[in-house]
Amino acid sequence: MNRFHIQGPNRLAGTIEAGGAKNATLPAMAASLLTDEPLVLRRVPRVQDIRTMARLLEHLGVENEADDEVVRLVPGGPGRPDDAPYELVKQMRAGVLVLGPLLARRGHARVSLPGGCAIGVRPIDQHLAGLEALGAEVTLEHGYVDARAKQLVGARYRFGMPTVGGTENLLMAAALARGTTRLENCAREPEIVDLARLLARMGAQIEGAGQDTIKIQGVESLSGAEHSIIADRIETGTYLVAAAMTGGDVTVTGTRAADLAPLLEKLAEAGCRIELGDDSLRLSLEGPLRARDVVTAPHPGFPTDLQAQYMALMTQADGVSTICETVFENRFQHVPELGRMGAHIEIDGSYARVHGPTGLSGAKVMATDLRASACLVLAGLAAEGRTVVDRIYHLDRGYEAMEHKLRALGARVERVSE
Ligand code: UD1
């Protein structure tokens, strides 16, 4: 069991480089199931979720070789299993992303239902209804989805809500369907645009990724490709919030400001100074922080994956801020932990009211999910005294070498294993 020991307070200053986006890499890796040729992905973050996806793909017959940030995925011959077992999907919901490509390429997929997770129920009904619209026969038994289709056929499908994983699964399935598919009410996240770019390099015909409606003209086969993954906007956002939270001055290079617009607007309103470079972002804080409300929403709204970190920041802001979580139904588990550090936050359904500023004090706290863990680390950086963040395996799922990046910015953080 690994923990972080953080000695606060810290003021972060300096420059770090953004890593590749975990949430863009996962579907890109799943896309290797659509072809018999090698796929080379660059700027792959070295985080646990990527290793879990690599193991799942190995099970499905795709070999992988990793050299630093480059991963080469090489599909194997016939006779490979078509199932994504519970043991792997329960570790990482994104395992369901193999469903669409497996079905499209091999005519059959058997994928464990991911089940609930710490932040909510998170069903995959939209993925399944979409695949059924393309002609798949879907049955659920023994906790598994079994989907079959000799040949998927293009169709019109409207998502009941914008779902990132659902849009990605359908995009990959439709790329090899016969005829045209029209997907409506699609998620518009930058990670979807990145997946569409990769698929286009493989020979897919896709129009409208990043917009509400995506049109896909199916092709008979897809080739291998090389692709460089976009920067991780959530990781960049986390370090910018850390800078704001500690009254610091941090530059993140290799990142794209446009993908972070909703966060940057809020940070500017809250009193942060933000400078945009060609591919870098600098945040500094001189005056006091002001409380600003936030409502999470699908892209281009404020990302739910930055809600917990933003809440940590608002404990240091002057005034009362209301944070409304609309994407997931149970994503406030960091609140009691922040409370143990002295934060004053009330929850009412999907609303949290943060009263600031409060002087945080170091405490022993427990990480419950990936982004909640990041929030507790940020709180620890600003708190007086020692904070111990337990169960940081959650953090390791999505942040590469966080303690090294934080130390490079001057933070006193140690990883302690027991
Ligand atoms: C992805 C991200 C995750 C992020 C989330 C929302 C990856 C690997 N993960 O997760 O970090 O927090 O987007 O930005 O990219 N829903 C349904 N039925 C479905 C699908 C979704 O009801 O079939 C609901 C979910 O329960 C949730 C909402 O739709 O309330 C959005 O979920 P979705 O966009 O699908 O999230 P993920 O793709 O799982």
Which tokens belong to 288? 């006091």
Three-state SS string across 28-41, please?
HHHHHHHECCCEEE
- For residues 162 and 188, is the Cβ–Cβ distance under 8 A? yes
pLDDT one-digit tens code per residue, 366-392: 988 999 999 999 999 999 999 999 999
Q: Which domains does the chain have, with CATH numbers?
A: 2-19+231-417 (3.65.10.10), 22-228 (3.65.10.10)
The confidence band for 265, taking pLDDT boundaries of 50, 70 and 90, is: very high
Residue 120 falls in which region: left (phi positive, over 0), alpha (psi -120 to 50) or beta = left
Q: How far is 40 from 71, CA to CA, in rounded Å? A: 6
Going from the C-alpha of 30 to that of each of 58, 167, 188, 271, 305, the distances in angstroms are: 11, 14, 19, 41, 22
**pTM (two decimals):** 0.97
Strand-pair category, 273-276 with 351-356 = unpaired
Q: Give the closest residue (by CA) to ligand 1 atom 7.
A: 23
Q: Which atom of ligand 1 is nearest to the CA of 165?
A: 38
Percent of the chain with pLDDT over 70: 99
The percent of residues in the chain predicted with pLDDT above 90, rounded, is 94
Expressed in angstroms and rounded, the spacing between residue 187 Cα and the centre of ligand 1 is 9
Residue nearest to atom 11 of ligand 1 (CA): 305
Which element (helix H / strand E) includes 107? none
- The pair of structure tokens assigned to 266 is 């809020």
Structure tokens at 170: 């359908």
Tell me how far the alpha carbon of residue 135 lies from the centroid of ligand 1, in angstroms. 23
The number of the ligand 1 atom at minimal distance from the alpha carbon of 125 is 23
Give 382 Cα–ligand 1 centroid separation in angstroms.
Answer: 31
213-260, pLDDT tens digit by residue? 999 999 999 999 999 999 999 999 999 999 999 999 999 999 999 999
Ligand 1 centre distance from Cα of residue 355 (Å): 29
Residue-wise burial string across 368-406, b where 16 or more C-beta atoms lie within 10 A, e elsewhere: bbbbbbbbbbbbbbbbeeebbbbbbebbbbbbbbbbebb
The CA-CA-CA angle for residues 78, 44, 283, to 5°, reads 160
**Four-residue CA torsion sign, 279, 24, 167, 155:** positive
Active site residue 117: yes
The β-bridge relationship of strands 249-253 and 273-276 is unpaired
Residue 410 Cα to ligand 1 middle (Å): 35
Q: What angle do CA 86, 90, 91 make, to 5 degrees?
A: 125
Marked catalytic residue, from 117, 186, 324, 375: 117
User: In this predicted structure, what is the pLDDT of residue 322?
Assistant: 98
Going by alpha carbons, the residue nearest to atom 31 of ligand 1 is: 163
Instruction: Give yes or no for a contact between 157 and 133, defined as CB atoms under 8 angstroms apart.
Output: yes
Half-sphere exposure of 403 (CA within 13 A, CB side): 16
> For ligand 1, which residues put their CB under 6 angstroms from it?
23, 26, 93-94, 120-127, 161, 163-166, 187, 191, 304-305, 327-328
CA-closest residue to ligand 1 atom 20: 124
Please calculate the CA angle 109-111-113 and round it to the nearest 5 degrees: 145
Identity of the residue numbered 386? R
DSSP state of 98: G
If you take atom 1 of ligand 1, which residue's CA is the nearest one? 164
Pocket test for ligand 1, best of 122, 295, 399 (most atoms within 8 A of CB): 122
